[in-house]
Amino acid sequence: MSLRSYIIGRVLMTIPMVMFLLTLVFIILRVIPGDPALLHFEKNVDPATLEAFKQRLGMDKPIWEQYFDYLGGLAVGDLGISMQDFAPISEHIAGRFPATLELTIYSIIFAVLFGVALGVKSSKTYDRPTDHGIRLFGIVTYAIPVFFLGMILQFIFGIWLQVLPVNGRFDPHYAPPTRITGMYTIDALLTMNTFALIIALRYILLPSITLGTVLCGIFVRLTRTNMLETIRMDFVVAAEARGLSDRVITYGYALRNAFLPIMTMIGLQFAALLAGAVLTETTFNLLGLGTYLIDRINHRDYTGIQGTVVVFGILVSIVTLVMDILYAYLDPRIRL
Amino acid sequence: MVDVLRIKDLIVEYTTQRGTARAVDRVSLTLGENRTLGLAGESGCGKSTLGRSLMKLVPYPGKIVSGDIILNIDHDITWKKGTIKKGDVSILELNDDQLRMIRGSEIAYIFQDPMTSLNPMLSIGKHFIQIQQAHDPTIEDEQALERAKEVLESLGILAERVDDYPHQFSGGMRQRVMIGLGLVLRPRLLIADEPTTSLDVIVEAQILEEMAELKEKFNLTMILITHNLGVLAQTADDVAIMYTGRLAELAPTEALFENPQHPYTEALLQSVPDVTKPDKKLAWIPGAPPDLVNPPDGCMFNPRCPFAMDICKQEEPPLIQSDTGGLVACHLYGRS
Ligand SMILES: Nc1ncnc2c1ncn2[C@@H]1O[C@H](COP(=O)(O)OP(=O)(O)OP(=O)(O)O)[C@@H](O)[C@H]1O
Ligand SMILES: [Mg+2]
């Protein structure tokens, strides 16, 4: 099988998956709770207002028509309008998404770099105190709730040492960098605004470390196990017998062969990453998709919830797809 | 004639939860330049452990307890961080860096299973580049690849296949690649650990033939580990028979096959099928080798030996000169 046909096949496989997801979200939010429009109004509402409300949202139509409107809208990037302010949800999300993206990017980078480095160290000090210490760290951080770790870090760095801000994305006394991507650090870089870059980095640091630390445990364990496994393999011993240096053997052999499962894990962890982002954003009061979702839930804004969940779902599908393709590209045994 | 390798009273032990198993027990051997020593014995008798101790690469948890391994080097080896002067070098006294320079360039090791001895993530060419650069970082990739192509072609593999990955080669071809990697730096000593065991008989015969030719061409000194005595009859100058970590008998090949001294050697020879005498009854050796953690008193072979005498259960036989020009460790000899 060529890489190309593999990619085509994999992309085609994603389509029914996404369709299933979209349908499921639709059903769960419309059919299971009963009438979402009615639910939006907590207390009794007069029938005329409810009717007008439904009409505005297109919820007066038969359910299958709503379903096709929903799919048709999605095809052109229309997520419908919010039950709360009738503004397009896609606009809401576009405003909130960069903060989440920025947080997840830095968190995953931190989690992978830190987790892999610790995993390598752990495997190289196998069964010695350093190894046990690192493994314990991995287990503890894996088990610790995000908001709890976030609060501890806020306390240490924000309140006690007072070196880092603990709230929001940017210093309210200054204007954020000119919007290009919406991610402050990236925009500051693109506009070569060092001042804004430093501020933005200081604000994103604690949330990223919080989320990254919670996620890194799994990478520590995965790296360690895979390194220990590959180090024992014949081809690693054979490489030693050829006089290759420790560096080449550790990184070029053991880690390189342990890297594919790590990459798969990045894909698999992406859903957990988004879930963690929701809690991190709440803890650090970041205006991202996570806080948006919580906000929508609080307002019983079912269309808003639907739009956000759909975006989360599509994101996870895309990341998994990309990771699978990368995997195939990097592993010569599949690449053929 | 120079002695390329001298092993003196080598003891190697594995310490496991069950206790300590002595896998190599007071082995002494001398190997003259350009000679081929065959090393045979039942599975588990310590052949691989002995072979791998020669590069100080005993697998975990094995340990070289005592003894000496002297390798003769016919040129000075210099690299960035040090030098090794030509002449006799004591392998066990070298530091990690010095060992690394010896491995692959002075002593090459070919492993039993070619299917797992190459890194699946790297092309064949990359393997050749790495071994050459490990010993001389100034070599450019292109230069190293040219050399790789030459070596591969001399082994009957098309030069253009350097870009292929291990999984694209058959078992026999991979073993040729392994041999090529073993020879690319023109080592003095080649240790081949059952290099053809996993291959079919036709490929086995071809490869052994090629190895014999290469040995002449490169003026190699060789240790050929195998449990196929037929192979040794054709290729080895001397044969050493090991039993439970000890040398049972060491003799020039012809003498050993025509006039085996040790009852164990004789039993081993009896158990080799002979196509020219299909009616010959195959003898097998009754019983199994003793447990290395709790070895029997006296001669290790006494529980299985048809000639066992009282003394065999009490005293360990010393290795003495035999009448056929070799050495034998058996109480049947040496007493008048
Ligand atoms: N990693 C290890 N841990 C513990 N014991 C080991 C280990 N490797 C080998 N041994 C023990 O050392 C002894 C010698 O093993 P070795 O692999 O050297 O035998 P061998 O003669 O090469 O056998 P084979 O013909 O099966 O390759 C065996 O009894 C084995 O049980
Ligand atoms: Mg072996």
- Indicate whether residue B46 lines ligand 1 (CB < 6 A): yes
Cis? peptide before B61, omega within 30° of 0: yes
Percent of chain A at pLDDT above 90? 65
Residue ranges covered by each domain of chain A: 94-287
CB B48 within 8 A of CB B250: no
pLDDT tens for each residue of A179-194: 999 999 999 999 999 9
How many angstroms separate the CA atoms of B94 and B104, rounded?
Answer: 15
Domains defined for chain B, CATH in brackets: 3-236 (3.40.50.300), 246-328 (no CATH)
Q: What is the ipTM of this complex?
A: 0.89
State residue B334's pLDDT score. Answer: 76
Is the CATH number 3.40.50.620 carried by domain A94-287?
Answer: no
Q: Of A227, A249, A253, give the one whose Cα is nearest residue B122.
A: A253
For chain A, what's the residue count? 336
Answer yes or no: is pLDDT of A335 > 60.
Answer: no
For chain A, what is the radius of gyration of the CA atoms?
Answer: 24
CA distances from B157 to B110, B125, B154, B161, B272 (A): 18, 12, 7, 7, 33
State residue B201's pLDDT score. Answer: 86
Count other Cβ atoms within 10 Å, centred on residue B88: 12
Average pLDDT, chain B: 91
Q: What is the pTM of this model?
A: 0.80
State residue B287's pLDDT score. Answer: 81
Answer yes or no: is pLDDT of A1 > 90.
Answer: no
How many angstroms separate the CA atoms of B196 and B222, rounded?
Answer: 15
Instruction: Calculate the dihedral angle through the C-alpha atoms of A4, A5, A9, A14, rounding to the nearest 10 degrees.
Output: 10
Q: Does A252 touch chain B (CB under 8 A)?
A: yes
pLDDT band at B93 (very low <50, low <70, confident <90, very high): very high
Q: Of A86, A57, A103, give the one whose Cα is nearest residue A206.
A: A103
What is the B45 CA–ligand 1 centroid distance (Å)? 7
State how beta strands B36-40 and B238-243 pair: parallel
pLDDT tens for each residue of A105-145: 999 999 999 999 999 999 999 889 999 999 999 999 989 99
State residue B196's pLDDT score. Answer: 87
Q: Does B109 touch chain A (CB under 8 A)?
A: yes
* Beta-ladder partners of B66: B11
Answer yes or no: is pLDDT of A23 > 60.
Answer: yes
B130, B185, B193, best to mutate vs chain A, most A CBs in 10 Å: B130
Percent of chain B at pLDDT above 90? 71
CA distances from A33 to A27, A39, A83, A137 (A): 9, 8, 16, 42
A127, A233, A235, A336, best to mutate vs chain B, most B CBs in 10 Å: A235
State residue B55's pLDDT score. Answer: 95
pLDDT band at B283 (very low <50, low <70, confident <90, very high): low
State residue B301's pLDDT score. Answer: 94
Residue B28 belongs to what H/E stretch?
Answer: strand B19-32
Residue A239 belongs to what H/E stretch?
Answer: helix A234-241
Answer yes or no: is pLDDT of B163 > 90.
Answer: yes
Average pLDDT (A243-266) is: 87
Answer yes or no: is pLDDT of B235 > 80.
Answer: yes
Answer yes or no: is pLDDT of B336 > 60.
Answer: no
How many angstroms separate the CA atoms of A253 and B116, rounded?
Answer: 13
Q: Does the distance separating the beta carbons of A242 and B134 come in below 8 Å? A: yes
- Indicate whether residue B290 lines ligand 1 (CB < 6 A): no
Count other Cβ atoms within 10 Å, centred on residue A113: 13
Least confident of A75-84, A255-264, B106-115: A255-264
Answer yes or no: is pLDDT of B277 > 70.
Answer: no
pLDDT tens for each residue of B46-60: 999 999 999 999 988
CB B83 within 8 A of CB B76: yes
Burial (0-12, 13-18, 19+ Cβ within 10 Å), A116: buried
Average pLDDT, chain A: 90
- Indicate whether residue B289 lines ligand 1 (CB < 6 A): no
pLDDT tens for each residue of A70-91: 999 999 999 999 998 999 999 9
CB B57 within 8 A of CB A240: yes
Sheet holding B238-243, edge to edge: B107-110, B189-193, B221-225, B36-40, B238-243, B246-252, B327-328, B320-321
State residue A336's pLDDT score. Answer: 47
Average pLDDT (B140-144) is: 96
Q: Which of A241, A242, A256 sits opposite B121 (nearest CB)?
A: A256
How many angstroms separate the CA atoms of B82 and B142, rounded?
Answer: 26
Answer yes or no: is pLDDT of B284 > 80.
Answer: no
User: In which residue are the tokens 């953690």 written?
Assistant: B293
State residue B259's pLDDT score. Answer: 93
Average pLDDT (B309-320) is: 93
CB B153 within 8 A of CB B173: no
Closest-CA residue of chain B to A242: B104
Q: Does A52 touch chain B (CB under 8 A)?
A: no
How many angstroms separate the CA atoms of A147 and B324, rounded?
Answer: 82
State residue B280's pLDDT score. Answer: 62
The DSSP secondary structure of A177-238, one letter per residue, reads PPPSSS-HHHHHHHTT-HHHHHHHHHHHHHHHHHHHHHHHHHHHHHHHHHHHHHHTSHHHHH
Average pLDDT (A32-54) is: 82
How many angstroms separate the CA atoms of A176 and A87, rounded?
Answer: 24
Average pLDDT (A272-295) is: 93
H-only helix segments in B54-160: 96-102, 124-135, 141-154
pLDDT tens for each residue of A222-246: 999 999 988 888 899 999 999 999 9
